[in-house]
């Protein structure tokens, strides 16, 4: 059997109605949303399935919603297919789902953590200090050069996500971001500012990181059933003891998704399955590794049908 990795998306992949189709078909999804709603104290399913755009823009809601959507999809997969991964990885918030399915942390504890993370993030957004922007069509080295030209210290703007060879994210202080975005547009980049965003994965989030560390102190992390890739290092967690520190650092350090993809490719991963809304990460797999890794989503019926057909075909050759 080929080597398999599970990947989990982060904030920005959400949409109104996410998880609803799976919930209609599978009782395990309905139970997962009920479990989350009971823990959070509100009807998370109703918000995800028929909420407003405002709901889907509030980090205190979106972060637990995305976690629950991803975990419920994973539970369907394990119930219906059950092939375990060789590695798991998640982009930003998705790293929490990757740790949860590995057994490092319970769903209950993870939900409480991401709810707190979302609350702290939302407060920072409302302060108006900084933002995040996606940059497409310009190589990382040129983006980094523009950032350092505008702000040599990196304290006002820097690359916050290394997503693919020609896709990065910038985070930083608003005025400096304006200057860098203008320069990159003149170079032919496509600039997509994220609506109601915080300067994720940047030193401007240091206050959030310190407050969040207090919540991490009360969490027990267990031994991982399989390796989980850290956003901070682009390498597997050395053990469960490093989890709290890496999750704290993730808030102020860049997401090294390019390194994550390179590591998985180097481990001869040939198949990824993305659990969560849309197929943002599956697209990034193809952007990073154009050949050699086959990617499937799990969000829609057609996604799941394609995955099942692929696995059936592979099994026929075993």
- How far apart are the C-alpha atoms of 113 and 248, rounded to whole Å? 11
Report helix angle 59-80 to 27-40, nearest 10. 150
Residue 236: alpha-carbon gap to chain centroid: 16
Residue from 201, 202, 209, 215 carrying the catalytic annotation: 201
| Alpha-helical regions (H) of the chain | 20-25, 27-40, 44-50, 59-80, 94-101, 107-127, 140-150, 174-186, 206-216, 243-250, 257-266, 280-288, 301-316
Residue from 59, 60, 70, 92 carrying the catalytic annotation: 92
* Residue 70 designated active-site: no
* Residue 202 designated active-site: no
**Residue the block writes with tokens 């990034």:** 284
Return the C-alpha torsion angle 126, 130, 134, 137, nearest 10: 160
Q: List residues bridging with 171 in a β-sheet.
A: 132, 158
Q: What are the catalytic residues?
A: 92, 201
């Amino acid at each position: 059997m080929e080597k398999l990795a599970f990947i989990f998306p982060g904030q920005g992949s959400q949409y109104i109605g996410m998880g609803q189709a799976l919930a209609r078909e599978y009782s395990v999804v309905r139970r997962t949303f009920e479990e989350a709603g009971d823990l959070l104290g509100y009807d998370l399913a109703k918000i995800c399935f028929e909420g407003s755009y405002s709901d889907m823009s509030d980090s205190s809601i979106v972060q637990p919603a995305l976690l629950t959507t991803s975990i419920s999809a994973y539970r369907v997969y394990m119930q219906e297919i059950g092939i375990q991964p060789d590695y798991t990885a998640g982009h930003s918030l998705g790293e929490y789902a990757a740790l949860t399915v590995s057994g490092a942390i319970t769903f209950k504890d993870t939900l409480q953590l991401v709810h707190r993370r979302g609350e702290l993030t939302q407060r920072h957004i409302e302060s108006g200090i900084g933002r995040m922007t996606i940059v497409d069509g310009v190589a990382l080295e040129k983006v980094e050069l523009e950032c350092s030209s505008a702000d040599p210290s990196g304290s006002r703007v820097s690359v916050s996500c290394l997503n693919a060879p020609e896709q990065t994210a910038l985070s930083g202080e608003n005025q400096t971001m304006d200057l860098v975005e203008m320069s990159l547009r003149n170079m032919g980049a496509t600039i997509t500012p994220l609506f109601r965003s915080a300067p994720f994965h940047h030193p401007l989030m240091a206050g959030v990181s310190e407050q969040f560390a207090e919540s991490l102190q009360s969490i027990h992390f267990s031994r991982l059933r399989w390796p989980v890739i850290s956003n901070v290092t682009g390498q597997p967690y050395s053990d469960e003891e490093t989890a709290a520190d890496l999750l704290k650092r993730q808030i102020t350090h860049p997401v090294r998704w390019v390194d994550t993809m390179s590591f998985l490719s180097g481990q001869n991963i040939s198949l990824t399955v993305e659990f969560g809304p849309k197929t943002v990460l599956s697209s990034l797999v193809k952007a990073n590794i154009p050949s050699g890794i086959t990617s499937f989503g799990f969000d829609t019926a057609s996604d799941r049908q394609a995955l099942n057909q692929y696995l059936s075909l592979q099994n026929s050759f075993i």
